[in-house]
Amino acid sequence: MALSFKERKKILKSTNTLDLTPIKLYSEVVESDELVTVIIPKFKNKLAVKIISPRLKSDHFRIKLDKFGSAVWLDINGNIKVEKIIKDLKKKFGDELQDAEDRITKFIFQLYSQGFISFKEIN
């Protein structure tokens, strides 16, 4: 059974952010320059998909990420904790990525709040 909003919030408050393991909820397309486009369906309701989707030009949204967001997205595989993702990106981008820990944790929680990812610990 899925956890309620209050239960998920309680788990997130009591857990160290660096110990969370993000999981992708949507697929992506990786371009040749390693920039990621996240593919999100416009409708989740089966009836809406059946009736409305055929009439649309596209039945999904395409969200393009910058190079830092793409690197974070590509590191998310359901097995790597946030702490390891931060270390990997610091190694990859070096001084180009200022305040890496703060920026990456904020970005990951933004992905979570938008419903692009979840965390293994709250599923």
> Global pTM?
0.81
Are 73 and 24 a contacting pair, CB within 8 Å?
A: yes
| pLDDT band for position 1 (cuts 50, 70, 90) | very low
| Residues contacting 24, CB < 8 A, separation 6+ | 73, 76, 77, 78, 116, 117
| Rounded Cα–Cα distance for residues 3 and 12 (Å) | 12
Question: Domain 15-122 adopts which CATH fold?
Answer: Outer Surface Protein A; domain 3 (3.90.930)
Are 116 and 38 a contacting pair, CB within 8 Å?
A: yes
| pLDDT band for position 2 (cuts 50, 70, 90) | low
pLDDT tens profile 40-53? 887 676 766 666 65
Rg of the Cα atoms in the chain: 16
List the domain boundaries for the chain. 15-122
The fraction of the chain above a pLDDT of 70, given in percent, is: 82
| Rounded Cα–Cα distance for residues 35 and 46 (Å) | 31
